[in-house]
């Protein structure tokens, strides 16, 4: 969202701007009016002078013709002077050859000169050229003239424009006075109009500034029907709406803060620089910082600091847990969620998992103890049933059937006890053996070899191991064998007769992957979401051959987790299933292959 930049400097008041605009309009109007006015005055003056000069010429035509035929230059000059009388200009007569025949200025000179100088003036003027006559600041009027035997000529009036200028000066003075009056009137009107407009605008500006400062109780100007009044009404409506919205936001914020403050889980909001924006009391207690206030620096434990740095770098959610019940520490689980905006903040949700982990530990211990206690009576029952079944001549058929059912259920219970003990040991992170460099392809080959009899008994084709080479891992041999056995055993159990199961090993992108593929009934997406939980069996377990305990896949997942890997499933109803265990590749050379673990291409 962009904001308008502040003005570079203080703006001039509204009345000043209105006055300047109106004055500019008046001056422009006067300038536009003055030019055509001057031109009109000049045209009118020339038109009237032309008409008057033509009338005077008509009266003097006979005199001019008589003087010309008599070659009376002085008479011609005097006639020109009479024609020039009202105009105070200069009247000249020019023949067809362009010679000056008479001139009103010559008449004036002759009248003012002494007698002995008049002849010299006449000789100087005689045969003079017409273009030597000065005509500055004049407008020339030409009319035809007939001089009898002297032929045609042109009479010219050099009409001075000074009268036009004097008249224009008078008009200009009057226009100037009118301009001053108009400007004064415009100034008064502009001041009155600007104050009438500006006062409510200034009031609304002050109200808007107070609203922007957070004061929503200030009084707004009354609304009206004009534009300014409607604007005042809109400002008032905005003020009321903002006051209501802000009140609702404050109520929601207080409610949210009360809820978060009363949560048993901790909530911490961090800014981009790692400072605390908000933290409730539960978070302060879990982090061991009772004085954790907004603006303080967070001092997280080492596991949380590392996870927080990685989440801020990748801008992806993460989770971390620290604490060990065996050392009497609290177990804290933290979910890290970077904010999606550009601010770069992060939200932490802390959950105290101490009691949950303690309950899980007690449950595992109870299951392990119960399973351990059940092993002895189960062993006695199993041996007793085997002994009874060994005397076929003393058992009726019905009794033998009941004993066989009991033997199968004892075997199933024995497997369940063993798997429960194994899972409890894995979840306690206390496997008995140490890790070693192993070849996952060898282990998979051994499982394929060991389960061939089961595949044959179920009439399922268990194909030889497919492997492109060694897949070295650092791990625990027996748990890995157990996990792979569970996957292949499940595939054989849930694949119908005539089906096939394929086991393939591949090592790419730093991971060793074992894929177990069958063409069984497949698994629905809903079942896949809980497939690796304890005591969960797929819908296909309803088959008569589905005799599993529901712990095999949970054991396989836990084995993958303690090796830093993962287990996944790719399946669809009616299209079979593929289970994959992916573990990090170890750089050390694997141990030699065991018997039965041969790889086939």
The pLDDT of residue 123 is 52
- The answer to whether residues 24 and 200 touch, using CB atoms and an 8 Å cutoff, is no
Going by pLDDT thresholds of 50, 70 and 90, the confidence category of residue 108 is: low
Question: Which range has the worst mean pLDDT, 187-196, 314-323, 562-571, 590-599?
Answer: 590-599
For 15, the token pair is 């009345």
pLDDT at 133 over 50: no
% of residues, the chain, pLDDT over 70: 79
Measured distance CA(160)–CA(163) in Å, rounded: 7
- Reply yes or no on whether the pLDDT at 107 is more than 50: yes
**pLDDT over threshold 80, residue 428:** no
* Helix residue spans in 328-435 (DSSP H): 354-389, 397-427
Residue 599 confidence (pLDDT) above 60? no
Could you give the CA distance from residue 504 to residue 578 in angstroms, rounded to a whole number? 11
Q: Is 542 exposed, middle or buried (0-12, 13-18, 19+ CB in 10 A)?
A: exposed
Cβ atoms of 521 and 494 closer than 8 Å: yes
Contact (CB, 8 A) for 322 and 351: no
Is the pLDDT at 422 greater than 90? The verdict is no
What mean pLDDT comes out for the span 111-122?
A: 49
pLDDT attached to residue 596: 38
pLDDT band of residue 2 (cuts 50, 70, 90) is very low
pLDDT per residue as tens digits for the range 283-334? 888 888 888 888 888 888 888 888 888 888 888 888 888 777 677 778 888 8
In this prediction, residues 184-198 reach a mean pLDDT of 76
pLDDT: is 209 or 443 the higher one? 443
pLDDT of 546 > 80? The answer is no
Each residue of 455-511: pLDDT tens digit?
998 899 998 888 878 888 988 888 888 889 889 988 898 888 889 999 999 988 889
Instruction: Provide the pLDDT for residue 151.
Output: 82
**Which residue blocks in 451-594 are alpha helix, DSSP H?**
452-457, 477-494, 525-528, 552-562
What gap in Å lies between CA 504 and CA 514, rounded to an integer?
A: 6
Residue-wise pLDDT for 219-259, tens only, equals 766 666 667 777 777 777 887 888 888 888 888 888 877 77
**Of 504, 488, 405, 417, nearest in space to 454 by CA:** 488
Residue 147 confidence (pLDDT)? 84
pLDDT, tens digit (0-9, with 9 covering 90-100), for 137-150 = 777 888 888 888 87
Q: 349-362, pLDDT tens digit by residue? A: 888 877 777 777 77
pLDDT over threshold 70, residue 590 = no
**Average pLDDT of span 72-92:** 81
pLDDT given for residue 419 in this prediction: 67
pLDDT, residue 7, reads 47
pLDDT, mean of residues 47-68: 83
DSSP, collapsed to helix, strand or coil, labels residue 486 as: helix
Average pLDDT, the chain: 76
Q: Within 10 Å of residue 396's Cβ, how many Cβ atoms?
A: 8
- 94: nearest Cα among 57, 143, 34, 35: 143
Query: Which has the closest alpha carbon to 423: 464, 341, 467, 363?
Result: 363
Give the pLDDT score at 129.
43
């Amino acid at each position: 969202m962009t904001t308008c930049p502040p003005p570079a400097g203080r703006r001039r008041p509204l009345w000043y701007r209105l006055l300047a605009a109106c004055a500019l309009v008046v001056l422009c109007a006067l300038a536009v009016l003055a030019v055509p006015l001057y031109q009109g005055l000049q045209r009118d003056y020339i038109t009237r002078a032309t008409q008057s000069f033509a009338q005077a010429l008509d009266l003097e035509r006979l005199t001019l013709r008589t003087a010309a035929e008599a070659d009376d230059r002085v008479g011609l000059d005097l006639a020109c002077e009479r024609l020039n009388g009202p105009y105070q200009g200069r009247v000249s007569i020019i023949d067809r050859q362009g010679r000056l025949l008479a001139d009103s200025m010559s008449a004036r000179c002759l009248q003012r000169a002494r007698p002995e100088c008049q002849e010299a003036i006449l000789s100087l003027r005689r045969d003079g050229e017409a273009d030597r006559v000065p005509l500055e600041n004049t407008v020339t009027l030409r009319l035809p003239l007939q001089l009898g035997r002297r032929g045609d000529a042109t009479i010219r009036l050099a009409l001075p424009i000074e009268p036009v200028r004097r008249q224009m000066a008078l008009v200009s003075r009057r226009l100037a006075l009118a301009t001053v009056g108009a400007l004064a009137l415009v100034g008064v009107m502009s001041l009155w109009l600007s104050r009438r407009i500006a006062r409510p605008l200034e009031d609304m500006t002050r109200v808007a500034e107070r609203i922007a400062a957070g004061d929503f109780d200030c009084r707004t100007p009354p609304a009206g029907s004009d534009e300014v009044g409607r604007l005042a009404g809109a400002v008032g409506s905005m003020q009321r709406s903002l006051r209501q919205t802000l009140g609702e936001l404050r109520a929601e914020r207080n409610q949210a803060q009360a809820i978060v403050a009363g949560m048993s889980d901790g909530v911490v909001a961090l800014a981009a620089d790692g400072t605390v924006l908000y933290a409730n009391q539960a978070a302060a207690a879990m982090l061991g910082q009772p004085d954790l206030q907004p603006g303080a620096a967070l001092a997280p434990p080492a596991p949380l600091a590392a996870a927080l740095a990685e989440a801020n770098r990748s801008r992806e959610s993460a989770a971390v847990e620290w604490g060990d019940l065996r050392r009497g520490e609290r177990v804290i689980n933290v979910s890290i969620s970077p904010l999606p905006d550009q601010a770069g903040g992060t939200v932490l949700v802390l959950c105290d998992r101490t009691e949950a982990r303690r309950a899980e530990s007690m449950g595992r211990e109870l299951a392990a103890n119960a399973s351990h206690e059940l092993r002895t009576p189960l062993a006695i029952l199993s041996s007793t049933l085997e002994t009874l079944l060994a005397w076929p001549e003393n058992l009726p058929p019905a009794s033998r059937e009941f004993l066989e059912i009991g033997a199968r259920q004892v075997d199933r219970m024995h497997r369940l006890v063993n798997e429960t003990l194994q899972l409890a040991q894995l979840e306690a992170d206390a496997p008995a053996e140490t890790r070693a460099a192993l070849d996952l392809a060898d282990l998979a080959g051994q499982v394929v070899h060991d389960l061939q009899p089961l595949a044959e008994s179920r009439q399922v084709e268990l194909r030889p191991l497919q492997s492109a080479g060694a897949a070295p891992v650092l791990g625990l041999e027996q748990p890995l064998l157990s996990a792979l056995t569970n996957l292949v055993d499940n595939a054989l159990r849930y694949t119908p007769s005539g089906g096939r199961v394929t086991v393939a090993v591949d090592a790419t992108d730093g991971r060793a992957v074992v894929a177990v593929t069958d063409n069984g009934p497949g698994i629905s997406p809903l079942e896949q979401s809980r497939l690796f939980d304890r005591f969960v069996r797929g819908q296909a377990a309803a088959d008569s051959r589905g005799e599993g305990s529901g712990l095999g896949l949970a054991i396989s997942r836990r084995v993958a987790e303690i090796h830093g890997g993962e287990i996944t499933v790719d399946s669809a109803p009616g299209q079979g299933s593929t289970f994959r265990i992916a573990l990090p590749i170890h750089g050390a050379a694997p141990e030699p292959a065991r018997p039965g673990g041969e790889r086939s291409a």
